[in-house]
Chain A
């Protein structure tokens, strides 16, 4: 059971606004990902939008596995800025969890 938390996405949107709302869950992105990680990027984005912070953090390794190669973004029928979103999640983990950056 995961509780929906609408405020979580705000944390992610600190630098650039997280935006995967146009996603229609077609799954093209996951099917095309060279890394072959089931969670990337569609389900990961879903967890962000629904505010499942623990699920995002459980899968930190997946977040940093993304090659940023844009194979998914190039083929996204809804033009979701996938790479920017991945970087936003990384930014949030770096800042809030790893405490990296300039403080």
Chain B
């Protein structure tokens, strides 16, 4: 028996409905990344993390659990788990996270905010009032729960008089930019990914990258949002040589991530195929989505392929370290 879809989804739904996030995150885990950046609270323009990068350590931990449960008798207890979860959050027990992983993902957010500051973008942050945008629940087709949640998110932003949002990952970008306007009446928010904002700015490189980098487009950026040129422009301006793998741009190949929580082994096969493609043309790869980053990195462990988030390269080239 595979992982029981019903109960896994049930836990996610309950978490979102009861706790506002698909997985519980402590206040400090959500906002620690912003330490030392002096980002003002609130403002007309805000950076919006959508908690995606912060959730990654928990998701990695949960996937380790799930892949152990899949095909084992323990999977029968997901149902019981879901019942308990409604009262006492069980997810933290399933998702003991690792401190160095938390630091790794926080550093990406830190990079992004730094880049925006160097580019002279005036922005604030909602800190602990920022909410998860609901992508996972939306993707799984739990429409009513998603829609209720989306309204909450929008109300929160309006409460703070936010007019412009700078997103940091493709999924939150798609939610706020393309999905919310379809379900929220008179939706008024200007939404841009930080890659778009940086590409439009006058950011000048301080250092030459002089590296050959294999680019892995995110499906959501490339095919949902048409964000293809901006990451290339930013890397190339800094002197990097971009290597396009066989599947690239609009024809990019999925990292397997979206299937990770329910079908870990199938997801891994997809990730392996993609890593094969990337490693066959170079030894340094770049991702621009937290889910891609996690999955490509895991599949690349045994290959001669380094995996970095695009902000790692950009901060190196454009910011005074």
Contacts and interface: CB of A to CB of B under 8 A. Distances in A.
A67 B256 contact: yes
A35 B250 CA distance: 18
Contacts of A89: 141
Contact of A88 (B13, B141, B251, B270): B141
A93 B140 CA distance: 10
Nearest to B8: A64
B10 A67 contact: no
B223 A67 contact: no
A68 B220 CA distance: 9
A60 B5 CA distance: 9
Contacts of B142: 90-91, 94, 100-101
Nearest to B6: A98
Contact of A100 (B9, B250, B270, B274): B9
A34 B253 contact: yes
B224 interface: yes
Interface string B3-18: 0011001100100010
Contacts of A61: 2, 5, 263
Given A67-B259, A91-B142, A100-B6, A34 B251 contact: no
Interface residues of A, number: 29
Contact of B254 (A69, A73, A90, A100): A69
Given A15-B143, A65-B263, A35 B5 contact: no
A88 B138 CA distance: 11
A91 to B, nearest CB: 4
A102 B223 contact: no
Contacts of A68: 139, 219, 258
B263 A102 contact: no
A38 interface: no
A91 B144 CA distance: 9
Interface in A39-93: 60-61, 64-71, 73-74, 86-93
B140 A98 contact: no
B251 A74 contact: yes
Contacts of A73: 223
Nearest to A97: B6
B152 interface: no
Given A34-B270, A69-B219, A100 B258 contact: no
Contacts of B13: 100-101
B140 A35 contact: no
A102 B148 contact: yes
A90 B6 contact: no
Given A34-B253, A61-B5, A74-B250, A90 B223 contact: no
B144 A102 contact: yes
Interface of A: 15, 34-35, 60-61, 64-71, 73-74, 86-94, 97-98, 100-102
In order of increasing CB-CB distance, the 5 nearest A-B pairs are: A90-B141, A69-B254, A91-B141, A69-B219, A87-B141
21 contacts: A34-B253, A34-B273, A35-B270, A60-B5, A64-B263, A66-B259, A67-B270, A68-B139, A69-B253, A70-B224, A71-B219, A71-B253, A71-B254, A87-B138, A88-B141, A90-B142, A92-B141, A93-B141, A100-B9, A100-B145, A101-B143
Given A67-B256, A97-B6, 4 more contacts: A64-B140, A71-B251, A88-B141, A90-B141
